[in-house]
Structure 1
Amino acid sequence: TNTSTAMAFNHSLALLLSLWATAGCDFFVEGVLQLECRDRYFMIAVDLAATGDVPRFEAVDGTGTYAITEDYAAKCGYSISILSLLGLVELRASYFSCHTEKTLFQGAGFSFRFNLITTYEGVDAYYALNKTCSSPLPWSPREVTCEVNYMEVSVRSELPCQSGSSDDSSTLGPLYSPSTEVWQVTFQNPYQQLPPMNLSQARQEGYIFDHVHDRIVFRTPYGQPESYHTEVTGVPVEVVHATVFSRQSWVVVMVDLIAACSMDEGSYDSGYMIWGTPEALYPSLGTTQISFGLNGNLVEQAAVVQKGFIMERYNSTVQIGIPYDAEGGYRKSFVSDCLSEFYIFNLYLKQTSVDERHEETVLWFHRTLVTPLLSSPLFTEDQTDVDNGTFSIHLGKVPRDVELTSVQLNGQEFAVPFSDSIAYTLTEVRHSNKSHSYTLKVPLHDPIVIQEFSKENAAMLHKLDINYTLIVKPGDEPYYHTFSVTARMAVSPPSFDVVCTESGIDFKLAYRSFDYLWDFTIGSDRLTPVLAANHGYTMSNDSQSLLLSVPLFTHGYKYKDIGLNGFLGTFSILVRDRETADILTSTTKTCLFNATEFIMCSTNGWMTVVVDLSAVLPSGEMPTRFHLLNNFCVPKAVDGTRVLFSFPLHSCGSTVKLAKENVTYQNKIYLDTSENAVEGFNPPTPHRMTVQCTYPLVGLHRLFSIH
């Protein structure tokens, strides 16, 4: 971890030093959640939300008020923990703390008086918090408390001292005679020889000695010059060994006070926070008794197993394993190079040993254990439903203290929650495991979606790049999580709906979003409005659909089964690859047209005519023979006065007339009647009808390509 990340982490960690358990108050003060007597300490929990700025505390006794600063707390038996992310401040006060008044409440009582100081707009408000406690457990001959900021040891005193504290805090009380000598203390350190000092000097150095309810008390902050560090069965231990003594006449009174605490900071392994302490920090005849829990609550052995905790003894060391998701722990997200997390546990442990004199020593541990930064990857799943035409992306395993603030879709950003004016939806679901998830839905055919055709997959690719912006709360440090999703939709060339009409064929195409991939052609010519106009088609084309009406006898038709009563007309629209011009598919329609008269001028150089010649015949006459300018070109079919001719334009005596923009091929149909056939008459006036086909000059290459 780089330096800036480490500093940010340590700053966050400084605000997360303890957890708390809910309980009732003896009386109501706004913001005070708890005033509770515990086994060996008194606890106050305050709600930050109700007190504005971080509250302060003062200890109160008959001599005045004393601000509980960080240094003063470690010296005098107080521990203040700020859990700003939960909005809480917790004060723990030892029963032997400096300003605790000793009473006879229920035998041996401890009376606590504090001022809670809150600040609103620069104005301080003071609230008095008072509570008298008695220890719920009997005191052992020797008890040691290893708090987070100090060590405290108390031993049973058999000295005939007066109850209550002495007026002179530098003495332990009168001893054996009215004349009291000055008590002194010497610290034993295996690494150096330390000179003795009187108790007044020791107090100035941060040490406290006291005599409370027939117990001698010694307290010291961690890291004092007279303490030393060692290892016991591989576990780091801080030890301070003080001996207080007084020489009175021919009697020397000595009291040995040793505080030894495991300084193991804990380690993380396979989902457990592991913390260890030597099996016997103090002499023990056998196995020490261990009970532990979180947040000041000891847990029964059966519940320990049920909650997933582990306690193992290995090489004279007791190891405690706390599951990372144990109830009572606290989780915090953290942004470094990626989204990370760490877990905080406020371990509370009681260790009891019995020495060779059958004297019991009890150790009480308060330890704040913090895991290293652990990777906390988000879970993203593509749940897209192509059949329903919707992207569906699930973003899961989002910690409860991480909030989604915006979503960027293909570069366009949308604040969360989405407005009702957009076609996208974002649904949040909260889960029981203290996480939540989001499901994003975007229509596949929305304009924001990028669409690309993949020839390799023969599919239309719908692409959506998503950038989630998340914020770790409290604070505003963003974390960006990106995810790209592609939906493949198999595509096929379009097919027209076709209808036969009396005068031609109508084609209709409802456009799909990807139909721009194709070209539509009539033969080899691309279908455009200009082409349609030149060929006499009626065309309507917009973003929704294409309509094309193709009248009979216009360019592109193919005819067959032509007879006197009609014919089959076929028209095709080809679908080509826009890049290669390869024909991919076509829509072809053949319709039966019932027509009594028509002229077909085909582009392959043929003229086909069905005509009723009764209009050119004299009344009552019947034709006996039909032919074109060339007498040998006769009809293919005859029905009375109706005839069918089909012949090449360059045959049967056809004539050609060239104009500026077109060329006309012309021929005549002649009719011979019975009167014309009688010999000896004057030559009759011929009966005839002119038929012709006109073509634009630009198309002549098709007519002459085979000539």
Structure 2
Amino acid sequence: MQGPDNMSISPTLMWTLLAAVILVCQARPNTQLDSKTGAGLRSECMGNLMRLSFDKALAVGNQLEVEAINGSQRVLLTPALAAQCGYSMESDPWGNTRIYTSLLGCYVHNTDTTFHVGLKLDMFNPTSPEIISHNVQKTCSYSRWAQREVLCDRNYMESSQRALVPALKCVSLQSSVKGDIWKLTFYTPEPITMVQREAEQAGYGAQTTAQRLVIRSPYQSPETSSEEVAGIPMEVLRVSVYYSAPAGLSVIDLSAACPIGGILFSPEAISWHMPRSLTPVVDSSARITELYLGMNGQRLDQSDLSARGYSLTTREFHIVVDIPVGAPDGYYKSHAPEQQYHVTFSVEPMLEVLWKASNGQETRYKVLFPITTPLMARPPQAYDQTVAESRVFSLLAGTFLQDVELKNITFLSGTFSVEECVKRGFKVLHQDHPNGTRSFSVQLGFDEDVVRRRNPEPLVTLYSLPLTLGFMILPELSPFSLSVELVASLYDVVHPSLSGDCDQEMFDITVAYGNQGSNFETFETRVGSRTLTAENAGQYYFRENATHFAFSVPYSALNTAFEMLTSDSVRARLDVLLWDPTNKWPVGDLSLICYFPLITIQCFPNGSVSAVALKLESVPKLQLDRLRLRDRSCRPLLTSERSVLFSFTVDSCGTSRKVNKCCTNKNYSPRQHVSCYYKVDRSVVVGVGLGPSSTPVAEVGNGQGAVHMTIATDSSYSWSYGPEDFPLPKFLQEPVFVEVSLLSSDPRLELLLQDCWATNSPDRSSVPRWDLIMDTCANPEDLYLTELLPVLSDVRGRLPAHIKRFVIKMFTFTQEEHMLSDQIHIHCDTVICNANDRTDGACKGQCSNAQKSWSQGREFKHECWINKLTHYLLSFTAINICQIEPSAMGKLGPKARPGKRLEMT
């Protein structure tokens, strides 16, 4: 708990009420007067006080002047005169105002038990010429005067005592009547003597009534002193008053002691300690006969105390009052020291004590003691109530007291008043709650220019709204602020979409804008290896509108890639990539593949031939200027970066001629074959004889057959992997045992492997490609030769002629020392032959001698289909490659780099 030194008390008169903009003693404007009486005012008699109350509806926005009515005169109550004459006023920040008048005040008509109080209130607004006046007249009866009365109000202390004085009217401060007060001696403790006029000029009030002698002193006057009574700091007034009595000159000693401390604070409660025996006023033998607790000058009974959580107890040396922080009779006030939001709680308890001395003399003591807690930090809270799908930021800030106003909001782009924010379409509202607090809400859309946007992921937009709310505390105009950043994310990105088409010469590309900008320069448009810019857009026949942009690229441009060449066309590809340079990721791409007419071979009647060869993407290191025909001396006629032109005659450059035969050269090395057909321009007479043939003739028919490829677990081929076993881990160069079998029980059939190869995609015709078996024999160019295994018997009882087996060493495709793919795919072409008839060249057997010689250097192989054999095309699913290590070496094809393990699926 905090000690008395930390308490905040307002003993001085607060005639200037900032919260209600109520001012006293300000020069009145020269305007018309409108008199009204009693409207909205409440006057109450409270023992030796009269209380006049009016709420904020009457006071807020007005300035107030208070005049005391003294017969036919009006006396303007300045703060000094109010303390001297027994008037006080207090107001909360919302304009609820109370004016207290001591019944022994200077301008109260006093008949000892009946008191007439008159006040005149003038309220005027600086913006209006009209003055609103209220005349208040109140008569109070009070007869329970004790021998001695002490009153401690907000701005003064008052002591009175019953005395035998002449039956004269109340003497005003402006005149002194003979036979009244002569002089006063103050003890500080040194005696200081003043005559009545000197005391009045020093700010003291001294007067007599029909039955009493009254002395009044403002707080912190020079002739008062500070003392501790039972450990409680008190401000003490001691004075001897010399006055004229019927029997002659008399002297009365008066004293008053008012608390200036004795408060203990905790976050939950206020504890007010008063001396149980107030020795400057009563002697230590006096006992308490009455004890009351009230609020704002009004006594409370026990039920009220219990209902509001108050307690009043007496201890050995103290009277203790406990008040909960936030009690209904007090109020909170906002503060902003160093622009940090704090609140205080203020309450004005009233303690009333009646002591009775051993000689029977009674002393009534009443103190109205305003208490304000130390500053309590209340950091404002911001609640992000944004629902991203609504695309509206929603902020709730609070809670504050209702003396806080939102004045402006600062965004990254500047500071705007609340009115300017509303004009921009922002929703800025405040809501007052029944418990006296207030909250503020701000709503604005994601699309406002004060909102920042970025894309943490390609399809996600992160919206952020940094803002600072600028608050003002009224009426002090104390500023403070609350900074917060609202963040929301949405999957709301619509990337540009690309589409394309081709004509005879051009790739035509169209890009539809998404929601990230309608300018082609919003992103980088990469056309092949070049970037589309405003400078080179004309080269691409660029055009645009509000929703799209389009451009065209000749298929022969360097941006394109040639994939395949035929005798009458070229297959070209254009890759278009939309790139976000800020986030460094792609936002759209398109690979458009088209066939364009291209005459690559021209055969002229004079026997000359021209052939065009293009550099295909699959052979990036091909040097076109080093291309030769079969005759190494035949060089290109013309060479460019991507094409060459040969011109030769049909009887030169190693040209071969075949009649009525289909001829195919099949080799891995990139080759282009040129064929010309010439009609022989002469007639030949041929005699034909018909007779029975001894050779059986096959008839064309339909049937079904099945060829199956499996991977064996080891070289015994006893067991094969099933679908549930994949993927299979394999080391590079580890043997892979492949078996191809004919699912038939017909002993007349024999299975041959004609060609087997590996690719890095499921497409049988894709490149790169590595031949494993060529024309029934292992590829002689393979450093790790594929091994064909003889099949003499089978543990599962199948016919050996129906089974072919071979072993390969695992490898991977690479290009420029980088692995192209983590998969390889095995494909095979098979031939099913009549085992009893090997007259056809394709059915000579698996890698016969003639075929061995073919694989060692012949230029052509026979691939004509005959009715004694059947072709089957097989493809095996992928083999996955993982954890490549550059230190190992394995099979290359076209370039391969070994790895640590392979997985087969």
TM range, smaller chain: 0.5 to 0.7
The 8 Å contact of residues 12 and 219 in structure 2, kept in 1 or not, is answered as no
Q: Deviations over 1:552-575 (max 9, x none)?
A: 7775356569899x9987553335
The 8 Å contact of residues 60 and 114 in structure 1, kept in 2 or not, is answered as no
The amino acid of 2:109's aligned partner reads: E
Q: Which residue of 2 aligns with 1:415?
A: 417
Q: CA shift at 1:110, angstroms?
A: 1.0
The answer to whether structure 1 residue 149 and structure 2 residue 171 are counterparts is no
Q: CA shift at 1:470, angstroms?
A: 2.8
Q: Deviations over 1:26-81 (max 9, x none)?
A: x952766233322221233468759954313133138x554433333333322244
Q: Which residue of 1 aligns with 2:69?
A: 59
Q: 1:68 aligns with which of 60, 77, 90?
A: 77
Q: Which residue of 2 aligns with 1:361?
A: 363
The 8 Å contact of residues 262 and 278 in structure 1, kept in 2 or not, is answered as no
SS at match of 1:72: helix
Q: How does 1:24-423 map to 2 (within 5 A)?
A: 29=37, 33-45=41-53, 53-61=63-71, 66-81=75-90, 83=91, 86-87=94-95, 90-103=98-111, 108-116=113-121, 128-135=135-142, 138-155=144-161, 165=169, 189=187, 191-192=189-190, 206-212=204-210, 214-224=211-221, 226-242=223-239, 256-264=253-261, 266=263, 268-270=265-267, 272-281=269-278, 282=282, 283=284, 290-309=291-310, 311=312, 316-340=317-341, 341-356=343-358, 360-418=362-420, 422=424
The 8 Å contact of residues 494 and 514 in structure 2, kept in 1 or not, is answered as no
Q: Which residue of 1 aligns with 2:474?
A: 473
Q: CA shift at 1:231, angstroms?
A: 0.4
Q: Which residue of 1 aligns with 2:848?
A: none
Q: CA shift at 1:95, angstroms?
A: 1.3
Q: CA shift at 1:330, angstroms?
A: 3.7
Counterpart Cα distance in 2 of 1:407 and 1:351: 54
Q: CA shift at 1:407, angstroms?
A: 2.0
Q: Which residue of 2 aligns with 1:176?
A: none
Counterpart Cα distance in 2 of 1:249 and 1:347: 41
- In the superposition, relative to structure 1, how do residues 188 and 336 fare at CA in structure 2: closer, same or farther (>3 Å)? closer
Counterpart Cα distance in 1 of 2:174 and 2:13: 40
* CA RMSD across the alignment: 5.5
Q: Which residue of 1 aligns with 2:450?
A: 448
Report the count of equivalent residues: 606
When the two structures are superposed, what TM-score results if normalisation uses the length of structure 1?
0.67
Counterpart Cα distance in 2 of 1:251 and 1:629: 158
The amino acid of 2:514's aligned partner reads: Y
SS at match of 1:303: helix
**Amino-acid identity (%):** 20
SS at match of 2:305: helix
The answer to whether structure 1 residue 511 and structure 2 residue 521 are counterparts is no
The 8 Å contact of residues 170 and 207 in structure 2, kept in 1 or not, is answered as no
Unmatched tracts of structure 1, length 5 or more: 1-8, 20-26, 174-179, 602-606, 618-626, 634-647, 681-707
Q: How does 1:288-687 map to 2 (within 5 A)?
A: 290-309=291-310, 311=312, 316-340=317-341, 341-356=343-358, 360-418=362-420, 422=424, 424-451=426-453, 462-474=463-475, 478-485=479-486, 494=495, 496-498=497-499, 508-513=511-516, 519-528=524-533, 534=539, 539-541=542-544, 545-547=548-550, 556=560, 559=563, 571-576=574-579, 578=581, 587-589=589-591, 599-600=597-598, 607=600, 629=609, 656=637, 665=645, 670-673=676-679, 675=681
- In the superposition, relative to structure 1, how do residues 630 and 253 fare at CA in structure 2: closer, same or farther (>3 Å)? closer
Q: Deviations over 1:91-146 (max 9, x none)?
A: 32211222322349xxx3112234445678999997653221113x8444443211
The 8 Å contact of residues 461 and 492 in structure 2, kept in 1 or not, is answered as yes
The 8 Å contact of residues 56 and 117 in structure 1, kept in 2 or not, is answered as yes
The 8 Å contact of residues 120 and 133 in structure 2, kept in 1 or not, is answered as yes
Counterpart Cα distance in 1 of 2:406 and 2:243: 68
Q: Which residue of 1 aligns with 2:891?
A: none
The 8 Å contact of residues 459 and 494 in structure 2, kept in 1 or not, is answered as no
The 8 Å contact of residues 580 and 586 in structure 2, kept in 1 or not, is answered as yes
SS at match of 1:348: strand
Q: CA shift at 1:316, angstroms?
A: 1.9
- In the superposition, relative to structure 1, how do residues 252 and 130 fare at CA in structure 2: closer, same or farther (>3 Å)? closer
The 8 Å contact of residues 53 and 98 in structure 2, kept in 1 or not, is answered as yes
Q: CA shift at 1:387, angstroms?
A: 4.5
Q: Deviations over 1:654-688 (max 9, x none)?
A: 964589x99884779743236468599xxxxxxxx
When the two structures are superposed, what TM-score results if normalisation uses the length of structure 2?
0.54
- In the superposition, relative to structure 1, how do residues 344 and 327 fare at CA in structure 2: closer, same or farther (>3 Å)? same
SS at match of 2:419: coil
In terms of fraction of residues, the more strand-rich structure is 1
Unmatched tracts of structure 2, length 5 or more: 1-9, 21-34, 614-625, 648-673, 687-905
Counterpart Cα distance in 1 of 2:146 and 2:245: 29
